[in-house]
Amino acid sequence: DQQVKQNSPSLSVQEGRISILNCDYTNSMFDYFLWYKKYPAEGPTFLISISSIKDKNEDGRFTVFLNKSAKHLSLHIVPSQPGDSAVYFCAAEAGGGADGLTFGKGTHLIIQP
Amino acid sequence: GAGVSQSPSNKVTEKGKDVELRCDPISGHTALYWYRQSLGQGLEFLIYFQGNSAPDKSGLPSDRFSAERTGGSVSTLTIQRTQQEDSAVYLCASSSYQVGKDGYTFGSGTRLTVV
């Protein structure tokens, strides 16, 4: 039973346009959400996070939106750059962190020139 | 060190053999996590260490898996009698907080192939 779902295995976006990556979750106990970016043969790197008490968090070109009632979050990247091509993982945490993060399967973002 | 170091980076082993994977966390990070990523899957949480405290082992996939952390620093993940379904990338992460509010720092992983 997948508690964190990323329904798009891949996404292709033109350079300079907006990339929108989506994530849905089922566990209402999740109170913190994170996005990680992963290049081949490297470990995931932290990108941006959001607490469940907020609905938006912005960091430079990256913005995460959280819709608690819909149990949905999205990552917006604008403008998209070639270096953004990577696999993006959505992750969620339920209070305390001792149970680790629950990850989605990832979305492979391809930025086309 | 500057980052989380994992060794070996690649390991090919025969079915039935034991393997040991090592993780050196960032100095001073008290929290250490093991995850694995099977082909086409997301990261699966395995086990969490906070300092020298005994870990909760309930996330380990079977009793063939064990992990320890010596002196609150280096951790080893041991898989006994490996099976083909154990083939995956095993990732270690460390954090300066029990809760990953800043996100963990992951190592590059150990790619385990059981043949």
- CATH number, domain at A70? 2.60.40.10
Subunit contact A89:B42, Cβ cutoff 8 A: yes
Residue-level pLDDT at B97: 64
Q: Are A25 and B42 in contact (CB under 8 A)?
A: no
CA A93 to chain CA centroid, nearest Å: 13
Residue A57 pLDDT grade (very low, low, confident, very high; cuts 50, 70, 90): very high
Q: Are A29 and A10 in contact (CB under 8 A)?
A: no
Q: Are B30 and B72 in contact (CB under 8 A)?
A: yes
Residue with more model confidence, B22 or A97: B22
Residue-level pLDDT at A1: 72
If one counts the domains in chain A, the total is: 1
Residue linked to tokens 């999740």: A30
Domain residues of chain B, as ranges?
5-107
Task: Give the gap in angstroms from C-alpha A41 to the nearest C-alpha of chain B.
Answer: 7
Considering only CB atoms, A44 lies closest to which of B48, B98, B106, namely B106
SS3 of B83, please? Answer: coil
Percent of residues, chain A, with pLDDT higher than 70: 98
Residues of A in contact with B56 (CB under 8 A): 98-99
Task: Give the gap in angstroms from C-alpha A80 to the nearest C-alpha of chain B.
Answer: 23
SS3 of A68, please? Answer: coil
Both structure tokens of A40 = 């081949």
Task: Give the gap in angstroms from C-alpha B30 to the nearest C-alpha of chain A.
Answer: 12
Residue-level pLDDT at B1: 52
Both structure tokens of A89 = 């993982």
> Cα separation of B107 and B93, whole Å?
6
Considering only CB atoms, A96 lies closest to which of B45, B98, B108, namely B98
Subunit contact A46:B56, Cβ cutoff 8 A: no
Residue A96 pLDDT grade (very low, low, confident, very high; cuts 50, 70, 90): low
Give the sign of the dihedral formed by CA B79, CA B46, CA B30, CA B2. positive
Which parts of chain B sit beneath pLDDT 70? 1, 97-102
Domain with A94 in it: 4-112
Overall CATH class of domain B5-107: mainly beta
The candidate with the shortest Cα–Cα distance to B73, out of B55, B92, B51, is B51
> Cα separation of B95 and A61, whole Å?
25
Residue A49 near chain B (CB below 8 Å): yes
Residue with more model confidence, B101 or A16: A16
Residue B58 near chain A (CB below 8 Å): no
| pLDDT of A44 above 80 | yes
Residue-level pLDDT at B2: 75
Residue with more model confidence, A74 or A40: A74
Subunit contact A46:B104, Cβ cutoff 8 A: yes
Residue with more model confidence, B28 or A35: A35
Give the E-state strand segments of B8-109 in sequence order: 10-13, 19-24, 31-37, 43-50, 65-69, 75-79, 88-95, 105-106
The candidate with the shortest Cα–Cα distance to B92, out of B19, B25, B13, B10, is B25
Q: What is the mean pLDDT of residues A77-83?
A: 97
Subunit contact A103:B44, Cβ cutoff 8 A: yes
CA dihedral A48, A53, A54, A60 (to 10 degrees): -20
Residue-level pLDDT at B41: 84
Both structure tokens of A30 = 């999740």
Q: What is the mean pLDDT of residues A32-53?
A: 93
Residue-level pLDDT at A97: 66
Task: Give the gap in angstroms from C-alpha B75 to the nearest C-alpha of chain A.
Answer: 16
| pLDDT of A99 above 80 | no
